[in-house]
């Protein structure tokens, strides 16, 4: 594999000549699409095929599709499913909730697979707390750290049933963030000891996940100077050792305002801290060229992790319409 350690977006609903030439030269490991890229199902499939043809390896095609308010498929219309928190709100029965969640994300996965996507940036393992910024809110399965791993595993199973890889986020935990990291840098002052038995616990319980996305959050009792994405201490001591995650670690979007410095500086800091993969979502060509200039080809342990997180074999025969009907029935059974 000669892919570079980066996932890029693109600007529109089809590739420009300049974008195509750039991706052919750059060879990013994967691509990520957003609502701006999705106009219709046929157009989406065509765009994904265009992207795949620009590289010589089999790229991951990512999307943020959690259901609820974080849904890129909404731009295509049709079913998207409820937010994660709605399941436990409907019933305290964990077994019923887990079954309904698996059905829900199997349906999401079936929609994604039918379009050509290979990976979903879900589930959220963050534990929201009272008075935190609402950026996580109902995207979390529960406010109880002891319940989240079981429900998130059901999400993972549903996605994998449909042939879609998963990305747990935002490691090691975004639930206590006092501001939205898209807009500013959150600082969590909770002690390391308390974080270990609350916020970090769901990630520890699902440490065998294929991929994880970092949190642009400062944990002042662990590293008061850098957010997790650019903190060697957090990545080495917390994510890799304490939590025990040894899968592919990608940064959250480098364009987010929680990070400081130029894009190139953010990228270099993330890689030096221990991120295996960079994520850049805007699709702005000049910015992508700047990042390409400093992004290395995957090698060493990062290359091994990337191979282990490769797209699943596309053998799934689940029809989206059938999976959606089952998901709706499972959720309706709570009422």
Which of the four pLDDT bands, split at 50, 70 and 90, describes residue 255? very high
C-alpha 188/C-alpha 170 separation (Å) is 14
The residue range of the domain holding 41 is 4-332
The number of distinct structural domains making up the chain is 1
Sheet strand arrangement including 119-120:
165-166, 119-120, 60-63, 28-33, 4-8, 278-280
120: annotated active-site residue: no
Q: Is the pLDDT of residue 335 over 70?
A: no
60: annotated active-site residue: no
C-alpha 329/C-alpha 327 separation (Å) is 5
DSSP string, 300-331: HHHHHHHHHTPPPPS-----HHHHHHHHHHHH
Q: What is the pLDDT of residues 34-91, one digit of tens each?
A: 999 999 999 999 999 999 999 999 999 999 999 999 999 999 999 999 999 999 988 8
Q: Is the pLDDT of residue 254 over 80?
A: yes
**Helix then strand then coil, % of the chain, to nearest 5:** 45, 15, 45
Helix 320-332 vs helix 94-115: crossing angle, to nearest 10: 160
Q: What is the DSSP letter of 198?
A: T
> The tokens of 308 are what?
């282990």
DSSP string, 12-48: SSS--HHHHHHHHHH-EEEEEE-GGG-S-HHHHHHHH
Q: Domain holding 190: CATH number?
A: 3.20.20.300
Residue 1 has a pLDDT of 61
Residue 12 has a pLDDT of 97
Give mean pLDDT, residues 157-181. Answer: 97
CB count, 10 Å around CB of 151? 25
Strand, helix or coil at 165? strand
Of the listed 120, 199, 252, 276, which one is catalytic? 252
Q: What is the pLDDT of residues 256-312, one digit of tens each?
A: 999 999 999 999 999 999 999 999 999 999 999 999 999 999 999 999 999 999 999
Residue 36 contacts residue 93 (beta carbons within 8 Å): no
The proportion of the chain whose per-residue pLDDT surpasses 90, expressed as a percent, equals 95
Find out whether the peptide bond into 170 is cis, omega within 30 degrees of 0. Answer: yes
β-strand partners of 61 = 31
To 10 degrees, the CA torsion angle through 257, 262, 263, 269?
-90
Residue 13 contacts residue 47 (beta carbons within 8 Å): yes
Residue 91 has a pLDDT of 82
Strand, helix or coil at 103? helix
């Amino acid at each position: 594999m000669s892919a570079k350690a980066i996932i890029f977006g693109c600007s529109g609903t089809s590739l420009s000549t300049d974008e195509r030439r750039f991706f052919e030269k750059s060879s990013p490991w994967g691509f990520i699409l957003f609502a701006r890229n999705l106009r219709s199902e046929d157009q989406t499939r065509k765009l994904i095929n265009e992207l795949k043809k620009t590289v010589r390896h089999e790229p991951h095609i990512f999307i943020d599709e959690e259901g609820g308010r974080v849904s890129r498929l909404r731009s295509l219309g049709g079913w998207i499913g409820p937010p994660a928190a709605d399941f436990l709100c409907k019933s305290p029965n964990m077994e019923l909730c887990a079954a309904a969640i698996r059905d829900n994300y199997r349906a999401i996965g079936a929609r994604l697979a039918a379009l050509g996507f290979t990976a979903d940036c879900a589930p959220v393992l963050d534990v929201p707390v009272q008075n935190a910024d609402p950026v996580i809110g109902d995207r979390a399965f529960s406010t109880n750290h002891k319940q989240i791993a079981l429900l998130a595993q059901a999400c993972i199973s549903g996605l994998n049933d449909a042939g879609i890889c998963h990305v747990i986020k935002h490691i090691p935990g975004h639930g206590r963030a006092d501001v939205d990291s898209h807009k500013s840098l959150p600082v969590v002052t909770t002690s390391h000891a308390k974080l270990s038995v609350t916020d970090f616990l769901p990630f520890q319980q699902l440490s065998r996940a294929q991929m994880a996305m970092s949190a642009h959050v400062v944990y002042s009792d662990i590293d008061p100077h850098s957010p997790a994405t650019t903190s060697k201490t957090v990545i080495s001591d917390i994510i890799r050792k304490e939590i025990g995650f040894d899968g592919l670690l990608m940064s959250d979007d480098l364009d987010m305002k929680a990070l400081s410095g130029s894009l190139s500086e953010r990228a270099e800091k993330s890689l030096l801290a221990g991120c295996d993969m960079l994520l850049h979502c805007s699709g702005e060509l000049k910015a992508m060229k700047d990042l390409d200039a400093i992004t290395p080809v995957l090698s060493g342990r990062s290359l091994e992790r990337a191979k282990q997180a490769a797209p699943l074999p596309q053998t799934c025969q689940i029809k989206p319409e059938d999976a959606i009907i089952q998901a709706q029935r499972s959720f309706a059974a709570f009422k």
